Amino acid sequence: MTGGAPDGPAPGLHQFVVQPGVGVRLDLLVSSQLDLSRTAAATLIANGLVTVDGRREKASYRPAAGERIAVDVPPPPDRPVLAEDIPLTVVWEDEYALVVDKPAGMVVHPAPGNWTGTLVNALKGRGQALAAEGGSGREGILHRLDKETSGLLLVAKTDAALRWLGGALAGRRIKRRYAVVCWGHLTSDRVTVDKPVARDPRDRKRMAIVNTGKAAKTDFVRLARFDSADLLRAHLHTGRTHQIRVHLASIGHPVLGDDTYGGGGGRRLVALPPKRHFLHAAWLIFPHPETGETVELRSPLPADLRRALDAVAGEPLEYPDPLDHFGFYRSDL
């Protein structure tokens, strides 16, 4: 998920098992696991919504390895989600699901600071049915893209499709591939980053590599090496907030144009507009929720990223589809 501040967990029951060597307070553990502030985690504990192996504990309690933490996240206060007439690029659709090519600058669902103008507002504006089990404001949403990330996003229209596709996502039967340009050069053509991600304890608007965070794994394949940057294909094994951006920053190669994680310098040199980073969900493969047949969709680089890639390359890339030219869609990579 890979924009704005992390928006916290969905309402409902969340459970996890304490791993060996963690040894931190319950409030800090819940905070890192659920992308919550420490104050919000402490409030859930004080209200009896957090249990350790079925029992209530204080925020200062230090859970032992193997203990199961259960957190019952209540739904947010009712707030009407408006249907808005916002243009959308729908690249595939049937009675069960649809796929949107989300533009950069659009938030996926309403949250503090972005109650209108989101993808969910636009979907509601189409006047169609959407899966409701995700909760108000998250109707149909299976996964998210950061605000300034563009590309393909899968939406469920029925509750049955939401459940089925959610299982497929958890079972890694949905393949999401991202085109990304990072500053500098990876140490090899293939790099896997397997580091836990959680809210940054020093800045709740950021995510960070945190030992007590959620497991996160990303594979990177270098497709092209330019003077100052690499063109990569990123494959998510997990879907943590800002995962690709945090993982690349953690190895010293932040995403081009990413002001939050250190890649914003030199933006003008590569012709990137303000508040835009080079991250695009270009390839989506998923099993149909009713027939099981494979659906494969591609999204070419938007014009702003196409211009930036030309600038990084130092010359216009005269290819109908630069991603195809550099092997982005090859199944053997």
CA distance 173 to 101: 20
One DSSP character per residue, 175-233 reads EEEEEEEEES--SSSEEEEE--EEEETTEEEEEEE-TTSB--EEEEEEEEE-SSEEEEE
DSSP 3-state of 247 = helix
Active site residue 85: no
How far apart CA 144 and CA 116 sit, in angstroms, is 16
Map tokens 């190669």 to a residue.
Answer: 253
**In the numeric block, which tokens belong to residue 214?**
């959620």
Q: Rounded to a whole number, what is the distance in angstroms from the first to the last CA of the chain?
A: 22
- DSSP E strand boundaries for the chain: 12-17, 50-52, 68-73, 90-93, 97-102, 150-156, 175-183, 190-194, 197-200, 203-209, 217-225, 229-236, 279-287, 294-298
- Best CA proximity match to 241, nearest among 261, 267, 266: 261
Contacts of 274 (CB under 8 A, 6+ apart): 267
Q: What distances in angstroms separate CA 165 from CA 175, 176, 247, one per listed residue?
A: 12, 13, 26
Beta bridge partners of 222: 232
- Cα 104 to chain centroid, rounded: 13
DSSP state of 268: G
Report the C-alpha gap between 217 and 186 in whole angstroms.
16
Contacts of 128 (CB under 8 A, 6+ apart): 157
Catalytic position from the list 7, 146, 219, 304: 146
Catalytic residue numbers, as ranges = 146
